[in-house]
Structures are given as structure tokens and as C-alpha cells.
Amino acid sequence: MPTYRVSICKGPDCRRNGAERVASAAQDAVRDLDLRGRCTLSRGGCYGLCHLGPNVVIREDRPRPPDPFRQEDFQLMGWEDEVHYGQMTPEGIRTVLTEHVGQDRPVESLKGPRED
């Protein structure tokens, strides 16, 4: 089973729309569901999708070339293993962690719309 990096936007619009509650719920869910070895939670920067916030981006935790600016913390990269969840709620993040991280099955109904 893969491990994941779960990034929760900490931009001002996402915070205003509840990102702090989402981050807190994610921490609780990782503990309650015993997912500590399956994912790392992080606070990403603004992804430029403010109108869809709070935004959560999940990527498989794969070895990637080192980047001191960690561009992936501030934008969608278009990587095959990248999934964007928009308008996230505390309940939604628990579902995402249970299914996407816990069962390696992205939650189609909670994915954000494509913004090419």
C-alpha cells in the first residue's frame, strides 16, 4: 500500500472558509483511524483555487527530485497520483482519509472540478 502526503491549504480564503477546522479534523482522523504510517499531513500554500476552498491535495509519497522551493506546496502539478479535493469539510476530510489513504481509493464524489 502506498503512503501519501496530504496538504491542506492555509491561504487566507481557505482559512476563512474553514481550513483550520479541516486541518484539526484531519489530525483527529489520522489518530483515530491509525493512519500515522500511511500519510503525512502538511499545510500547503495557496493553490490559486480560492473559490473552491478549503482545498486539499493528496499525492503519493514518492521519491521526487529535491526542490528547495517545493513548488508542489503551492500549485497543482498535474502528476498522475495527484488528487485535488475542493470545498472540503471536517466530515469530508475524514471520508477522504478513510477511503483514499486507508483503502487506496480516491473519493470521486468529493474531488474538485478540473481547472486546466
pTM of the predicted structure, to 2 decimals: 0.89
Q: What pLDDT does 78 receive? A: 81
Residue 5, Ramachandran bin (φ over 0: left; ψ between -120 and 50: alpha; else beta): beta
- Is the CB of residue 29 less than 8 Å from the CB of residue 35? yes
The one-character DSSP state at 51 is: G
- List pLDDT tens digits, range 58-83: 999 877 666 656 666 667 878 888 99
Class of 4-110 per CATH? alpha beta
Tell me: the pLDDT tens digits for 17-49? 999 999 999 999 999 999 999 999 998 888 889
Q: How confident is the model at residue 112 (pLDDT cuts 50, 70, 90)?
A: confident
Please tell me which residue, 116 or 106, carries the higher pLDDT value.
106
Say yes or no to pLDDT of 92 above 70.
Answer: yes
User: Which alpha helices (DSSP H) does the chain contain, by range?
Assistant: 12-16, 19-32, 90-96, 102-103
Predicted pLDDT of residue 44: 85
What residues does each domain of the chain span? 4-110
